[in-house]
Amino acid sequence: MGDPAGIGGEITINAWAGRSDGTAPFFVIDDPGRLSDLSRRIGVMTAIKIIQSPGEARDVFPHALPVLGNALSVAAVPGKPDPANAPAVLSSIETAVRLVMSGDAGAVVTNPIHKKTLYAANFPYPGHTEYLAALAGDNIIPVMMLAAGGFRVVPVTVHQSLVEALKSLNTGIITEAGLITHAALIRDFGLPHPRIAVAGLNPHAGEGGAMGSEEDQIIAPAVAALTEVGINAFGPIAPDSLFTPQARDTYDAALCMYHDQALIPIKTVAFETAVNVTLGLPFVRTSPDHGTAFDIAGTGQASETSLLAALDLAAAMVRYRASANP
């Protein structure tokens, strides 16, 4: 569902309307009345079919958008988020996880949520990534990846202020993120010998200690720990040269030290096609790499490109996992 006041509903409608023969069948956990009203509002007349179970979706999908009902508490107004609908937003996520964990669905693709609205309803998690990990079970360590084709970035620290991210950065969490990324590149992306570039933290990767010691004291030991277990990891690399086209050809994923170090380059290069992927979960989860876009919600201007990319990548990841475990 995502936040019902955002663009999640209309990009879902557009994704179904713009489906191709190669689009994997999907169903939506949402309020069917909301989607019907939204379809009329944006002028994309979409057939909507309520389903009772995921098993019905494949037969319905060619003719109508399959919707597993999830009622809102109050009518959604585009562009005006309402904490009263937070339970429905969270319920849609919980239902999706339950269905994929039971094997009734193949993957979870989430539409954008509005964290501030959820916080107003006492949501205790920083975002989707942490909430999905909590739903998946104990001892799950989620790692966020942004992927656009062969360009993949992984922030080691995610939903924290920059000050707090720097305080929490240490050799252990860098190593852990590298291990999870390596395993996912093999299992979920079909790369048997992945290459991981590790970014420095400071300008010029510390310039030999002249601009900071974190590279020598924190990052380099993590790179060494990864290489010791056979992972092709290298760095720390100066962040200002890590994302050039020439540099991107040398690695399959870049391990970055904080949120914006990873997200700024990939959003600049591939804003409409980048996909958010949660690594380390026992199921596949992707989402569009954009927010709720309240300013254009309900106007029909929202592009479904990133959602289609998220659906395609989720289907590909499911196939890779299946081929690895026939």
Q: Model confidence over 6-47: pLDDT tens digits?
A: 999 999 999 999 888 888 999 999 999 999 999 999 999 889
Q: What is the CATH number of the domain that holds 9?
A: 3.40.718.10
Residues 72 and 206 placed together within one structural domain of the fold:
no
Within a domain: residue 323?
A: no
Structural domains of the chain, count: 2
Domain boundary among 93, 110, 140: 140
Domain membership of residue 314 (yes or no) is: no
**Average pLDDT of the segment spanning 97-126:** 92
Structural domain contains residue 275: yes
Domain boundary among 116, 140, 164: 140
Structural domain that includes position 123: 1-140
Q: Which residues of 5-18 are buried (b: 16+ CB within 10 A; e: fewer)?
A: bbbbbbbbbbbbee
Q: Domain check: are 165 and 178 in the same one?
A: yes
Residue 193 and residue 103 share a domain: no
Same domain, 20 and 89: yes
Q: What is the pLDDT of residue 326?
A: 58
Give the Cα separation of 251 and 226 in Å (integer): 15
Are 1 and 7 in contact, with CB atoms under 8 Å apart? no
The domain boundary, picked from 88, 114, 140, lies at 140
pLDDT reported for residue 139? 82
Classify residue 72: in a domain, yes or no.
Answer: yes
Residue 100 pLDDT exceeds 80: yes
Residues 173 and 204 in one domain: yes
Q: Is the peptide bond between 81 and the residue preceding it cis, with omega within 30 degrees of 0?
A: no
Would residue 294 count as lying in a domain?
no
153-185 pLDDT per residue, tens: 999 998 888 999 999 999 999 999 999 999 999
Q: Whole-model pTM?
A: 0.91
| Lowest pLDDT segment from 46-50, 131-135, 275-279 | 131-135
Same domain for 247 and 184: yes
User: How many Cβ atoms are within 10 Å of 250's Cβ, its own excluded?
Assistant: 12
290 compared with 242, residue with greater pLDDT: 242
Same-domain status, 132 and 245 = no
User: Is 113 in a helix, a strand, or coil?
Assistant: coil
Same domain for 22 and 91?
yes
Higher local confidence (pLDDT), 296 or 21: 296
* Whole-number pLDDT of residue 130: 85
**Pairwise CA distance, residues 92 & 3, whole Å:** 10
Order of strands across the sheet with 48-51?
Answer: 28-30, 65-69, 48-51
Neighbours of 312 (CB within 10 A): 18
Does residue 315 lie within any of the structural domains? Answer: no
pLDDT greater at residue 272 or residue 35 = 35
- Same domain for 18 and 121, yes or no, is yes
Tell whether 226 and 208 lie within a shared domain.
Answer: yes
Residue 147 has pLDDT above 70, yes or no: yes
